[in-house]
Structure 1
Amino acid sequence: MDSQIRSIHQQLVDKKITCTELVQSKLSNLKENSHNTVNALLDDIALKLAAKVDAKIASGETIGLLEGIPFGIKDVYMLQGTCTTASSDLLKHYKSPYTATAIQKLLDAGAIPLVKENCDSFGHGSSSENTIFGPVKNAINPELVGGGSSGGSAVNVAKDYTVFSIGGDTGGSIRQPAGYNHVYGLKPTYGRISRYGLMAYASSTDCVGPIAKSIEDILIVLNTMSGLDPKDQTTFTSETIQEDAILDTKSIKTVGYFKNFIDSEALDPKIKADFLACIEKIKAKGISVKVLDFFESDTLVSTYYTLAMAETASNLSRLDGTNYGNRIEAENLKETYAVTRSENFSEETKRRIVGGNQVLSQGFSDEIYLKGLNLRDQISQNFEKDFSEVDIILSPVTPSTPPKIGDSLKAPLAMYLSDAYTVGFSLGQLPTLTVPQGTATGLQITAAKNNDELVLKFANFLKDTI
């Protein structure tokens, strides 16, 4: 495996480069980049930490594997003393009073934060255009979107501005931009990594995850961030995944795929042809392939957005300018709340709050919200049945290639439907990895809950097969 983390670590240990030189080089590239990936550079923090690493090496002390490795942070994570804006007008001057657990674990391991990364405001979007910092431009073709909501994080990794980045995935917000920019992006099992210090979008599906250029780097960062956190009651104790374990792919016997995903008229013909070609290569390696039935993509998207909008309406109700954010005074308190929220939230965020309040309102909650909860249970049961028959589910990441910048803003429904192949796995709270092989936007590997190791194993298998 081609680990940038291990390569840079060895260069630092061998004194072929200094940590300060490495960090300065990355910061310089970030300053000059024209892809709108940067919300704020963390120059002072990064250079101070780099100097400490250099001093440690100079004195002959041993450094850890992540010590001195530069990384990026999606701008929805708390990092004490830095602005955490969520790419929104409401929080553009908000300073974090504490550090998110996942980020703190990386800092404790010696990793160096370089940048707060551009994203869709509060994670609301699939293109990273719903942001006050300008649309994120695709790493491969800057006329296209970078994907969302973790677009800045994926582009920074793809352009080598960061060694890895920490995104957030609610319905595909790591996996989709990873696919658009040809890098690896992991949504781990829900609860494997603490969400404490991540601005909540939809609490029942929000996941912290890494974006990187190799499977090994994904593994290193995943192991570092994982674990029980008393500040997040959804977390659980997880075993460290060993590198040797993910190299042994013999345990994978059966792979499944959803027929209705592949037969959908919305699926780009080239992506379909490439996906089916991958299936044939997998069969040729002696692995059994099983065709599975699943819910229609329209049902998945409707269920996800019903629940996600309801949860975001609840989570963002606290942002009224009283305790947090940019307050706009009006004639009375009620008007102050209304103007503050109307003027500071993006159009997409307002659309989701209004939709969420609608499905939670009297007369609609039984008909819409409770039905959504019931469908989510059915989806989870469907996955349990599927994973009793197959080891892995393989799917396209997106039904189509990245749209041009501006197109998604004109067609919100089309933007929602672009999540058709990612949201189902979020509702099931399953570990899912985008790999940059197979189709124009990669492939998506999914396993049963807590089987993150199996996902990484199959990624290694695909790397050698496709």
Structure 2
Amino acid sequence: MESQIHKIHQQLVNNEITCTALVQEKLEALKQNSNNTVNALLETSALNLAAKVDAKIKNGEPIGLLEGIPFGIKDVYMVQGTYTTASSELLKNYKSAYTATAIQKLLDAGAIPLVKENCDSFGHGSSSENTIFGAVKNAINPDLVGGGSSGGSAVNVAKDYTVFSIGGDTGGSVRQPAGYNNVYGLKPTYGRISRFGLMAYASSTDCVGPIAKSIEDIRIVLNTMSGQDVKDQTTYASAEITQDDIQSSDSIQTVGYFKNFIDSEAIDPQVKSDFLAAIDKIKAKGIAVKALDFFKSDTLVSTYYTLAMAETASNLSRLDGTNYGNRIERDTLKETYSITRSENFSDETKRRIVGGNQVLSQGFSDEIYLKGLNLRDQISENFENDFKEVDVIISPVTPSTPPKIGDSLKDPLAMYLSDAYTVGFSLGQLPTLTIPQGTATGLQLTAAKNNDELVLKFANFLKDLI
């Protein structure tokens, strides 16, 4: 099975390459890249870790599959001793005091972090333009956005600057940039991977997600990061997914798609045509395809952003310059808080905080926030009913192709609507995988909760079909 991780592992074991040379090559490429993917290079620590791997191999000691494999980290994850800025003015000088659980598991497996990656500030955006480090440029066409909020992570994988990267997905922030840059991106079932050490955006949908160039590499990284964590009470123990588990697609008898996604006026005609062509190829293989009814995309977007803004307003209330961040002193404590937050948060972050406080405020919470919670329950119930009829749901990742850099900043509403096909699966807390096939921005495969194995299995089936 195609895999950069397996290939590099074998090259290291066979002494065809050294880990130090591999890491140096990736670091040089990251230094010279013009896509604005780098917030900070972890050069010294990466080379030290590489030297240890080379020493083990020289001494004839066995190395693990991930040992010596270079990877990137979206700059919203704590890694002890590194700058963790969330691409924000407020935290531009903040150093992590500890390491996120998911990242620590990769470090324990011997993987080597190279870079903290550019992203939308605090995950607020769908284009990776809302960042103090400059807009991330698309790997295929640098005039276009890299996608967001994990744009730097997706571009680094697409350009081979990292073997894999760890993004964060709240409403599509792994899947959408993966689609924009023609790579794989997984949002696992909510709770499969610990969120401890991931800066919270919307805690009820935040997920740790891997981005890579192959299904096998996604599988390996997913297995490594998964598992229960006492530091995150939403986590659960999950079974390892083996290579054999995803080889056969015999268990997939019926595939569903949401007809209102495809009948929407918002969808690009070419995306629609390509999606329907992919459906025809699936049918030709004897798999039943069923059109499903679902909530309108504008209902999904408004429900998601109502809840996400409320949660981010709550989560970011701690950032006032007292314990974290760039504090700006004024005559009174209230003025200090006000100027610190006004000057250090971006326009998009302030927009989301204000929106969140609005929907939580007296007189609005019953009318808006509680209605959003009720709709989320209805969406989850809809999914439960759908998965009694179909095994997997397939959909476009986005209704249209990536916009030009600058366009999303002029029209925030258009940016929110670009998430129309991803946010529903986030609200349902379902495992969803972007594959770089089918449409210009890929296809999205979704299964019922805790069925992450099934989306990898179906992706493997589609790899040579579409």
Q: TM-score, normalised by structure 1?
A: 1.00
Cα separation, 2, equivalents of 1:367 and 1:209: 33
2:111 paired residue number? 111
Please state how far the C-alpha of 1:154 moved relative to its aligned partner.
0.0
1:228 paired residue number? 228
1:11-26 matches, within 5 Å, as 11-26=11-26
Partner of 1:343: helix, strand, or coil?
Answer: helix
1:160 paired residue number? 160
Cα separation, 2, equivalents of 1:178 and 1:95: 28
Cα separation, 1, equivalents of 2:294 and 2:46: 47
Partner of 1:72: helix, strand, or coil?
Answer: strand
Cα separation, 1, equivalents of 2:248 and 2:63: 29
- 1:235-286 deviations in whole A, cap 9, x for unaligned? 0000000111101111100000000000000000000000000000000000
1:36-435 matches, within 5 Å, as 36-435=36-435
Cα separation, 1, equivalents of 2:79 and 2:440: 35
Cα separation, 2, equivalents of 1:22 and 1:259: 47
- 1:389-418 deviations in whole A, cap 9, x for unaligned? 000000000000000000000000000000
- 1:162-206 deviations in whole A, cap 9, x for unaligned? 000000000000000000000000000000000000000000000
- 1:359-399 deviations in whole A, cap 9, x for unaligned? 00000000000000000000000000000000000000000
Cα separation, 2, equivalents of 1:331 and 1:295: 51
Give the share of equivalent positions with the same residue, in percent: 85
Cα separation, 2, equivalents of 1:400 and 1:2: 29
Cα separation, 1, equivalents of 2:321 and 2:180: 36
Equivalent pairs, count:
466
Report the residue type matching 1:58 in the other structure: K
Please state how far the C-alpha of 1:464 moved relative to its aligned partner.
1.7
Please state how far the C-alpha of 1:2 moved relative to its aligned partner.
1.2
Cα separation, 2, equivalents of 1:84 and 1:371: 35
Please state how far the C-alpha of 1:331 moved relative to its aligned partner.
1.6
- 4+ long deviations beyond 6 Å: none
2:440 paired residue number? 440
Q: TM-score, normalised by structure 2?
A: 1.00
Task: Quote the RMSD (CA, aligned, Å).
Answer: 0.3
- 1:303-348 deviations in whole A, cap 9, x for unaligned? 0000000000000000000000000011210000000000000100
Please state how far the C-alpha of 1:350 moved relative to its aligned partner.
0.2
Cα separation, 1, equivalents of 2:66 and 2:189: 23
Report the residue type matching 1:52 in the other structure: K
1:455 paired residue number? 455
Please state how far the C-alpha of 1:49 moved relative to its aligned partner.
0.2
Which consecutive residues of structure 2, in runs of 5 or more, have no partner in the other structure?
A: none
Cα separation, 2, equivalents of 1:462 and 1:417: 28
Cα separation, 1, equivalents of 2:250 and 2:346: 49
Please state how far the C-alpha of 1:223 moved relative to its aligned partner.
0.1
- 1:71-100 deviations in whole A, cap 9, x for unaligned? 000000000000000000000000000000
Partner of 1:273: helix, strand, or coil?
Answer: helix
Cα separation, 2, equivalents of 1:62 and 1:248: 31
Partner of 2:456: helix, strand, or coil?
Answer: helix
Cα separation, 2, equivalents of 1:255 and 1:12: 41
Cα separation, 1, equivalents of 2:331 and 2:124: 30
